[in-house]
């Protein structure tokens, strides 16, 4: 089995792979290294013909606190990994390098994971914040513990939403607008009510529930599962999902450029609570 620094890869049952985020000290925040490791783990499961179902889980009390905003050497970290996209410009000046990085690491990886030709199940507990949504939304099935909470605070940061802006497809247009405009936390029960989550279970039952579903799915022929997944994905795509999300991504880049011009940073600090700004190293609208 593959070994990683921030990922645990295991096969807990026949035809089932489980990929577990294991950066517990940072609440599974996503730096460059973790994202590339996660992609490598997905590749390992996708390319193993004995694996039919993939579970994405996380160690610790929280699934993921989102992007690691404290990372300062992202460009150096990217140079240590093989790129998965064909875009360039990672070392260019202006907006080009930031856009290239986010196209590679965020919308690029998420779209890649969404199209893995095998069923994927996300098992979510605790907080799932911003970038955390970008890990679970590419999955086919989401199972949440009763304590799970979901939030995208991007508008508080002066941005239109996370880079993989799948909100309307996950929760419907009106709920998506409320979720983005207010930055309110969504409970597991509400996420289940609107159809973003398939099941809500007790925290102690989450691993076994996800595994039981994976084992049930794994009894089906792999090729049939692949065709069923691609059929549903195609229905979303012909509705314009890809074009709309690419447009949203470009608006995200416009927001970054706007904020860099006004505040000399990718975010607008005016919408952030003081404690949040301090936690991510902002002081008076400037990086510490």
Evaluate if residue 14 carries a pLDDT over 90: yes
Distance CA 40, CA 70 (A): 23
Q: Are 164 and 111 in contact (CB under 8 A)?
A: yes
Mean pLDDT confidence for 91-107: 92
User: Residues of the chain with pLDDT > 90: what percent?
Assistant: 81
Task: For domain 7-287, say whether CATH 3.40.50.720 is its number.
Answer: no
Q: What is the pLDDT of residue 286?
A: 46
pLDDT greater at residue 79 or residue 14: 14
Q: What is the DSSP string of the chain?
A: ----SSEEEEEEETTEEEEEE--GGGTT-B-HHHHHHHHHHHHHHHT-TT--EEEEEE-SS-SB--B-TT---HHHHHHTS---SS---TT-STHHHHHHHHIIIIIIHHHHHHT-SS-EEEEE-SEEEGGGHHHHTTSSEEEEETT-EEE--GGGGTSSS-SS--HHHHH-HHHHHHHHHH-PPEEHHHHHHTTS-SEEE-GGGHHHHHHHHHHHHTTS-HHHHHHHHHHHHHHHHHTTHHHHHHHHHHHHHHHHHHHHHHHSSSS-GGGS-HHHHHHTTEETTEE-
Q: What confidence tens digit (pLDDT) does each residue in 30-55 have?
A: 999 999 999 999 999 999 999 999 99
Q: What confidence tens digit (pLDDT) does each residue in 213-238 have?
A: 999 999 999 999 999 999 999 999 99
Q: What is the pLDDT of residue 285?
A: 45
Q: For the whole model, what pTM was predicted?
A: 0.93
Q: What confidence tens digit (pLDDT) does each residue in 189-204 have?
A: 999 999 999 999 999 9
CA trace torsion 149, 150, 153, 155 (10° rounding): -140
Q: What confidence tens digit (pLDDT) does each residue in 159-181 have?
A: 999 999 999 999 999 999 999 99
Q: What is the pLDDT of residue 287?
A: 42
């Amino acid at each position: 089995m593959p070994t990683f620094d921030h990922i645990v890869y295991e096969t807990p049952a026949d035809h089932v792979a489980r990929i577990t985020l294991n950066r517990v000290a940072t609440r599974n925040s996503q730096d460059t290294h973790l994202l590339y490791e996660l992609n490598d783990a997905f590749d390992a499961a996708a390319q193993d013909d004995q694996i039919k179902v993939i579970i994405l889980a996380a160690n610790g009390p929280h699934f993921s606190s989102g992007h690691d905003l404290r990372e300062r050497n992202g460009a150096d970290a990217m140079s240590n990994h093989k790129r998965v996209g064909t875009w360039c410009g990672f070392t260019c000046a202006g907006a080009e390098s930031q856009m290239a990085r986010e196209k590679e690491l965020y919308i690029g990886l998420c779209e890649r994971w969404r199209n893995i030709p095998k069923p994927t199940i996300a098992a979510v507990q605790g907080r799932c914040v911003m970038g955390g949504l970008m890990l679970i939304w590419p999955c086919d099935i989401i199972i949440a513990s009763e304590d799970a909470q979901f939030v995208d605070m991007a508008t508080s940061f002066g941005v239109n939403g996370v880079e993989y802006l799948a909100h309307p497809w996950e929760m419907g247009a009106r709920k998506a607008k409320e979720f983005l405009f207010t930055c309110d936390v969504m409970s597991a029960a509400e996420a289940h009510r609107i159809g973003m989550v398939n099941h809500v279970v007790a925290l102690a039952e989450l691993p076994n529930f996800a595994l039981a579903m994976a084992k049930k799915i794994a009894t089906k022929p792999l090729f049939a599962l692949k065709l069923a997944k691609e059929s549903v994905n195609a229905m979303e795509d012909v509705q314009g999902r890809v074009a709309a999300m690419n447009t949203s991504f470009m608006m995200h880049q416009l927001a970054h450029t706007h904020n860099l011009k006004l505040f000399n940073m990718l975010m607008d600090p005016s919408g952030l609570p003081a404690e949040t700004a301090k936690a991510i190293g902002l002081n008076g609208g400037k990086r510490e």
